Amino acid sequence: MSRPAKISINLDALSHNLSVIKSKAQGSKVWSVVKADAYGHGLSCVWPALSHTDGFALIELDKAIMLREQGWVGPILLLEGFFKPDDVYLLERYSLTTVVHADWQFEAIEQAQLERPINIYLKLNSGMNRLGYRPEDYQQAIQRAKGITNIGSIVQMSHFANADTGLNMATQKQIIDSSMVNDLPRCLANSAAILFEPQTHHSWVRPGIILYGVSPSGVWQDIADFDLQPVMTFNSEVLAIQSVKKGEQIGYGSRYTAQRDMRIAVVACGYADGYPRHAPDGTPVIVKGHKTQLVGRISMDMLTIDVTDLPDVEHGSPVELWGNQLPVDEVALACGTIGYELLCAIAPRVAVEVTINVANSTFSDLNESC
């Protein structure tokens, strides 16, 4: 017997979204970004549905090795680079491409005893001010990379701070353009830039959030015209119904006071499942196909919703926290965050159900890895 809180992962939607991205960025190769366990979707289950990608990009070295062990032979990119000098040997052994953003990484690659060169993405800090070489130091870093025999191919990489809002994009593009005056391949575009800034596509693009059918801006209407489909649906069920009198209060801290006599449905899902505890009253939720709202604070294992005007809702009625009927962007907006954070927060105790069209040829690839 499992708890009814589960995520359902639609692999056809994932595969479809990659095809949409490929047709949007024709002429560019695609790194499918699968960091944070494929944005909470479960990397080992979902990657075969993306096997028509050109490469996988992620942060976690152990997950990169897992991809190799599960049979992915194409390119893999470590978006944050490697973390310790000795990691260079793992890069060689598993043929991993790495970001280089600091001098100590050059030294580690230079000093390693390698039989095969390592391909690198040389990071330009174009204004995000997290990782990379500043524009005035970038050409020198390219020269250094070219002089190291342990380094194979070099791609110029930068990351946009504001591609989702358009803010500062123009200045940031100027910085990038003036720093990258040479003929090395380039890789700049994240999801937002892929959709909204086609002139940034270049040799490789790096879509993350749009693969999963979620908006990079936090507003789902911004992606409504791109034919992207939600991949994750977060479901549960009604555990109990309570009748509450006007003036009574609901849940921890008595946050919500009934404005009238109410029917309240208690749902088997809480913050220990990854539903955000800071969700306010009024956050949308779907029960038995009807849209309603949260009332009262989220508990560890339960949440409460208003079903006063929904007499057909009863014990066992299906609840959708987000997904097919309710974009996660809408829930995130109500909670003052973005879809990214909610997807990544799904807790390990939540059961995962993978759905795929059986006629789809990727089905047999999946059996072993899930």
Ligand X SMILES: *Cc1c(COP(=O)(O)O)cnc(C)c1O
Site membership for ligand X, residue 190 (CB under 6 A): yes
Residue 94: active-site member: no
Taking the complex as a whole, the smallest distance from the CB of residue 243 to ligand X amounts, in Å, to 44
Of all residues in the shown chain, the one whose CB is closest to ligand X is 208
> Under the criterion CB under 6 A, does residue 207 sit at the interface with ligand X?
yes
Cβ distance to ligand X smaller for residue 190 or 317: 190
**CA 139 and chain centroid, separation:** 32
**Exposed, middle or buried: residue 336 (CB in 10 Å: 0-12, 13-18, 19+)?**
exposed
CA distance 285 to 328: 10
Q: Which of 84, 246, 252, 291 is catalytic?
A: 252
User: Helix/strand/coil (H, E, C) string of 4-21?
Assistant: CCEEEEEHHHHHHHHHHH
How far apart, in whole angstroms, are the C-alpha atoms of residue 77 and residue 160? 18
Please report how close the Cβ of residue 214 comes to ligand X at its closest, in angstroms. Answer: 9
Q: How far apart are CA 187 and CA 363, in angstroms?
A: 31
Q: Among candidates 152, 151, 170, which has minimal Cα distance to 160?
A: 170
Enumerate residues 158-187 that contact ligand X by CB under 6 A: 159
Q: How far is the CB of 39 from ligand X (least distance, A)?
A: 7
What's the 3-state SS for 62-78? HHHHHHHHCCCCCCEEE
**Size of residue set near ligand X by CB under 6 A:** 11
By beta-carbon proximity to ligand X, the closer residue of 162 and 325 is 162
Q: Which is nearer to ligand X, 6 or 159 (CB)?
A: 159
Q: Which residue stretch of 196-204, 208-216, 259-267, 357-365 sits at the interface with ligand X (rule: CB under 6 A)?
A: 208-216
Three-point CA angle 164, 166, 36, nearest 5°: 20
Is residue 286 within a helix (H) or strand (E), and if so which, with residue range?
Answer: strand 284-287
Q: Is 208 in the site for ligand X (CB under 6 A)?
A: yes
89 catalytic residue (yes or no) = no
Please name the helix (run of DSSP H) or strand (run of DSSP E) that holds residue 331, with its range, or none: helix 328-334
Give residue 100's Cα distance to chain centre: 22
Which residues, at least 6 apart from 133, have a Cβ–Cβ distance to it below 8 Å? 101, 122, 123, 124, 125, 141
Question: Contact between 339 and ligand X (CB under 6 A)?
Answer: no
Which of 35, 63, 123, 173 is catalytic? The answer is: 35
300 is in an annotated binding site: yes
Question: Which one of 16-24, 200-208, 306-314, 354-362 is the stretch in contact with ligand X (CB under 6 A)?
Answer: 200-208
Q: How many Cβ atoms from other residues are within 10 Å of residue 289's Cβ?
A: 12
Binding of ligand X at residue 216 (CB under 6 A)?
Answer: yes
- Asked if residue 157 belongs to a known ligand binding site, the reply is no
Closest approach, Cβ 155 to ligand X, in A, equals: 12
Candidates 79, 100, 334, 335; binder of ligand X (CB under 6 A) is 79
The answer to whether 229 and 13 have CB atoms below 8 angstroms apart is yes
Nearer to ligand X, 24 or 159 (CB): 159
Q: What distance in Å separates the CA atoms of residue 82 and residue 90, rounded to the nearest whole number?
A: 10
Out of 109, 209, 298, 332, point to the residue binding ligand X (CB under 6 A). Answer: 209
69-77, 134-142, 207-215, 263-271 -> range binding ligand X (CB under 6 A): 207-215
Q: Tell me: does residue 14 bind ligand X (CB under 6 A).
A: no
Element (H, E) at 234: strand 232-244
We find the least distance from the C-beta atom of residue 191 to ligand X, in angstroms, to be: 3
- 206 contacts ligand X (rule: CB under 6 A): yes
**Residues 23-62 vs ligand X: string with x where CB under 6 A?**
----------x-x---------------------------
Distance in Å, CB of 30 to ligand X, minimum: 11
3-state secondary structure 33-45: ECHHHHHHCCHHH
Q: Write the CB contacts of 257 (distance below 8 Å, at least 6 apart in sequence).
A: 247, 248, 249, 250
- List the catalytic residues: 35, 252
Footprint of ligand X on this chain (CB under 6 A)? 33, 35, 79, 159, 190-191, 206-209, 216
Cite the annotated binding site by residue number: 130, 300
Cite the annotated binding site for substrate by residue number: 130, 300
